[in-house]
């Protein structure tokens, strides 16, 4: 079970990093969302992978740690807000520049004469 979960986390992280390195804004947003999903699964799996066990310590031999579950719930809310902000910023950038590339245009780079080098 742990091998499957760790492989899924690694695959999602690799795909997220690949998407974040793209030049368009939509793959970047999808990559950041995928990375937050991978982090959420990692946090959730750090609390022990047990089935049908109570989330309390009192007297049970096997239990599920409730702290990672609370962290994942908080992280889901934060990642939703972060995704909404990034989508609004990408939309604003598209409406101002009429392109959805994430890199700087060539005319925004300083010339060598302006920097003095």
Query: Tens digit of pLDDT for each residue in 69-117?
Result: 888 899 999 999 999 999 999 999 889 888 888 776 677 667 666 565 5
pLDDT of 48 > 60? The answer is yes
State the pTM of this model: 0.75
Selection from 77, 69, 83, 81 nearest residue 35 by Cα = 83
Decide which of 61 and 18 is more confident: 18
Q: Are 45 and 95 in contact (CB under 8 A)?
A: no
Give residue limits of the domains in the chain. Answer: 2-54+63-101
Residue with tokens 């007297």: 59
Distance between CA 4 and CA 110 in Å, rounded?
49
Which candidate, 92, 117, 113, 106, places its Cα nearest to that of 25? 92
Q: Find tokens 């003095």 and name the residue.
A: 116
């Amino acid at each position: 079970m742990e091998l499957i979960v760790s492989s899924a986390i690694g695959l999602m992280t690799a795909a997220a990093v690949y998407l974040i390195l793209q030049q368009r804004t939509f793959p970047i947003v999808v990559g950041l969302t995928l990375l937050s999903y991978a982090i959420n699964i990692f946090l959730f799996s750090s609390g022990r992978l047990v089935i049908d066990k109570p989330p309390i310590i009192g007297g049970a031999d096997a239990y599920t740690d409730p702290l990672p579950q609370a962290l994942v719930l908080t992280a889901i809310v934060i990642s939703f807000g972060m995704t909404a902000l990034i989508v609004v910023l990408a939309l604003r950038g598209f409406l101002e520049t009429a392109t959805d590339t994430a890199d700087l245009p060539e005319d925004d780079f300083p010339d060598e004469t302006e920097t003095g080098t």
